[in-house]
Amino acid sequence: MSFDSLIDRLTDDLTPVRRRRPWVDMLTVAAIALAELALLFALGFAHISLHRMMTEPTLWWRLASLGLISLLSGALAIRSFDPAYSPKGGLRWLALIVVICLTFGLLMGGLPGGLASIAVRLDWTSGVECAYKMALLSVPPLIGLALLGRRGAPTDLRRTPLLIGLAAAAWGAFAFVFACPFTDPLYIAVWYSVGCGIVVVLARLILPRIARW
């Protein structure tokens, strides 16, 4: 096709467009995430002794850390849907925040005391179940962010999927906190990291194929 005929075709096809607005994307994802949380509470998913757990410092550590990571990575992911924005620097800061949150939890009493005690504290059968549930809970925000990413124009198809995966995984873990009966920081640090890690790796592997434009 010649240049002139392409320009004719594109001009004929021109219609007014509704500009992409990042804050609308953020509200959309927030609405999906909050709807998921409300549904979980409505279905009685919350742990029966949640009111007692409110006094546990690890509950607030989990909620604050996961909420912060989810919010920041979601905002960065949405910003990276703009082709001119590179999420490289933001991702570096985010990695630092994740490390600080994990270190904080381990200092709260999560440092292992010996191999035998680690095996008992990690309780791998419950841990695998927790990781699986967290991964399932991260699916709605993951789909929401992936669809918004397709509508946008992310140019860094390595880092944007990582951010989408991290935001969705942290939200899945945040929602799971209300149903999780465990309070040991070591258990939480290990199995929450496994659950989130699985989602991030899957997002990194799958999303670049979907988000390509």
With CB under 8 A as the rule, give the number of residues binding another protein: 25
- Residue 161 as a binder of another protein (CB under 8 A): the answer is no
Among residues 97, 71, 63, 55, which one has the least CA distance to residue 177? 63
Segment lying near another protein (by CB under 8 A), choices 93-101, 147-155, 174-182, 189-197: 147-155
The answer to whether residue 150 forms part of the interface with another protein (CB under 8 A) is no
The yes or no reply on residue 152 touching another protein (CB under 8 A) is yes
Among 42, 43, 54, 84, binds another protein (CB under 8 A): 84
11 binds another protein (CB under 8 A): yes
- Candidate ranges 16-24, 108-116, 131-139, 140-148; the one touching another protein (CB under 8 A): 16-24
Rounded CA-CA distance 85/80 in Å is 5
Three-state SS string across the chain, please?
A: CCHHHHHHHHHHCCCCCCCCCHHHHHHHHHHHHHHHHHHHHHCCCCCCCHHHHCCCHHHHHHHHHHHHHHHHHHHHHHHCCCCCCCCHHHHHHHHHHHHHHHHHHHHCCCCCCCHHHHHHHHCHHHHHHHHHHHHHHCHHHHHHHHHHHHHCCCCCCCHHHHHHHHHHHHHHHHHHHCCCCCCCHHHHHHHHHHHHHHHHHHHHHHHHHHHCC
Nearer to another protein, 3 or 55 (CB): 3
User: To the nearest whole angstrom, how small is the minimum distance from the Cβ of residue 159 to another protein?
Assistant: 14
Of 89 and 114, nearer to another protein (C-beta) is 89
Out of 13, 23, 55, 115, which residue is the one contacting another protein (CB under 8 A)?
Answer: 13
By CB under 8 A, residue 49 contacts another protein:
no
State which of residues 40, 97, 122, 153 lies at the interface with another protein (CB under 8 A).
153
The whole-angstrom separation of Cα 66 and Cα 58 is 12
At 172 the three-state DSSP class reads helix
What three-state secondary structure class fits 202?
helix
Q: Which residue, 156 or 184, is less far from another protein as judged by CB?
A: 156
> 19 or 51: whose CB is closer to another protein?
19
Q: Identify residues 118-137 at the interface with another protein (CB under 8 A).
A: none
Tell me which residues touch another protein (CB under 8 A).
Answer: 1, 3, 6-7, 10-11, 13-20, 81-84, 86, 88-89, 152-153, 155, 213
